[in-house]
Amino acid sequence: MSEKSTKILYAIVFFICIIWVLPLITVIFASFKPEVEIRTGNPLYPPTDPTTSNYSDALYEGSPPLLTAFKNTLIITIPAVLGSVFLGALAAYPLARLKFKGSTTVYLLLLFGMMFPFQLVMVPVFKAADFLGLYETTTGNYLAVIGTHIIFGVPFCAFILRNFFKTVPRSLQDAAMIDGCSHFSFFFRILLPLSLPALAVISLLQFTGIYNDMLWALVLMRYTDTYPVATTLASLSTTAGVPYGLLCAAGFLAVLPTLILFILLQRYFIQGLAAVGQ
């Protein structure tokens, strides 16, 4: 490639990157501006008189405050990730390792469960949670959202982990079994510890998915002070009269965990994404 065309390509890529970061950068700028500057100032300029009051408002004053939302996110995400990854691994093992009647059917069901747009069944899920009495109490609200995330997360985890378990050498299993290992002890004692890196990647993807979900909390939670971050953000955004500064600060705070994880673990995110389409 000639030097000139390389320069043109760089210019194009640079321009695209500017467009791509612009929306987020302007939000970050606005989040540090006092309300007067937001209403009248140039949105493309960094704040002239930076303030962190938007952040303290977002964390403590909002309804519900974002600090509570982060706490709720932890309460929901940790059990939901552990549960769905563990159950996914349980399902992945026989699919990757055993020849049994019906394995194709189970595999197809998993694919179906992974791809099915869960938004369409919010009525039955809500009715089920309500039937179990989970809509009325705050604990019930948490349980309903955690349970739903686990149930709808299992197929995806199983699919990814099945592909990983297939790469573990057959001879390892034979060796273990000849020495008297049952399938269960092989699974728990050898395969799971060996798969820790893959389990970490799938947990990361599940975490992102659950952290990003706003629908289930919106549908299944009666009390707004149990809302996780994404749902809180959506409800702030649709409430009239919320100051822009507060909204922008809340938006950036919600981006922050993802941003940190992405900077540290970029390549795992991209690997996981490629897996669905392979």
Partner 1 sequence: MKKFPYAGKTGNGEARQRLEEEFREEEKPEKTAFLFLLIPLLCIGFVIFTIVYLFAASFTSNGEFVGLQNFVKLFTEDPYFWPALWHNLFWMIWAILIPVGLGFILAFILSAGLKGEGFFKGVIYFPALLSGATIGVIWSWFFLPKDNGVLNFILSKLGLMGLANPTTKLWINDPSSPVPFLWIITIPVFAISVMVILLSFFPKVSDLSLVLIVSLFGIGIPAILYETGAVSTSLVSILIASTWAGSAVSMVMFLAGMRAIPKSVLEAAKVDCASWFQTLRHVILPYLRPVFTILIVLSAISSVKAFDLVYTLAGQEGGAGHHAADVLALYIYRSLKIGNYGYASAIGVIGILVAIAPVIIYITLMRRREEE
Task: Establish if 269 lies at the interface with partner 1 (CB under 8 A).
Answer: yes
Residue 44 beta carbon to partner 1: minimum distance, rounded to whole angstroms? 7
Task: Give whichever of 10 and 60 is closer to partner 1, judged by the CB atom.
Answer: 10
* Overall size of the chain counted in residues: 278
> Of 49-57, 60-68, 114-122, 134-142, which segment contacts partner 1 by CB under 8 A?
114-122
Distance between CA atoms of residues 204 and 271, nearest Å: 11
3-state helix/strand/coil string of the chain: CCHHHHHHHHHHHHHHHHHHHHHHHHHHHHHCCCHHHHHHCCCCCCCCCCCCHHHHHHHHHCCCCHHHHHHHHHHHHHHHHHHHHHHHHHHHHHHHHCCCCCHHHHHHHHHHHHHCCHHHHHHHHHHHHHHCCCCCCHHHHHHHHHHHHHHHHHHHHHHHHHHHHCCCCHHHHHHHHHCCCCHHHHHHHHHHHHCHHHHHHHHHHHHHHHHHCCHHHHHHCCCHHHCCHHHHHHHHHHCCCCCHHHHHHHHHHHHHHHHHHHHHHHHHHHHHHHHHHC
Task: Establish if 150 lies at the interface with partner 1 (CB under 8 A).
Answer: yes
Residue 276 beta carbon to partner 1: minimum distance, rounded to whole angstroms? 7
Residue 108 beta carbon to partner 1: minimum distance, rounded to whole angstroms? 6
Task: Give whichever of 199 and 233 is closer to partner 1, judged by the CB atom.
Answer: 233
Select from 27, 168, 190, 192 the one that contacts partner 1 (CB under 8 A): 27
Distance between CA atoms of residues 130 and 259, nearest Å: 36
Task: Establish if 109 lies at the interface with partner 1 (CB under 8 A).
Answer: yes
Please, which of residues 173-202 interact with partner 1 by CB under 8 A?
174, 177-180, 182-184, 187
Please, which of residues 155-174 interact with partner 1 by CB under 8 A?
155, 158, 174
Task: Establish if 115 lies at the interface with partner 1 (CB under 8 A).
Answer: yes
Print the binding letters for residues 47-86 with partner 1: x by CB under 8 A, - otherwise.
----------------------------------------
Select from 100, 167, 193, 196 the one that contacts partner 1 (CB under 8 A): 100
Total binding residues for partner 1 by CB under 8 A?
Answer: 105
Look up residue 42 and give its two tokens. 């140039």
Please, which of residues 202-241 interact with partner 1 by CB under 8 A?
208, 211-215, 218-219, 230-231, 233-234, 236-238
Residue 52 beta carbon to partner 1: minimum distance, rounded to whole angstroms? 18
Residue 241 beta carbon to partner 1: minimum distance, rounded to whole angstroms? 14
Select from 74, 108, 194, 260 the one that contacts partner 1 (CB under 8 A): 108
Select from 3, 101, 196, 241 the one that contacts partner 1 (CB under 8 A): 101
Q: b/e per residue, 185-220, with b = 16+ CB within 10 A?
A: ebbeebbeeebeebbebbebbbbbbbbebbbbbbbb
Task: Give whichever of 67 and 244 is closer to partner 1, judged by the CB atom.
Answer: 244
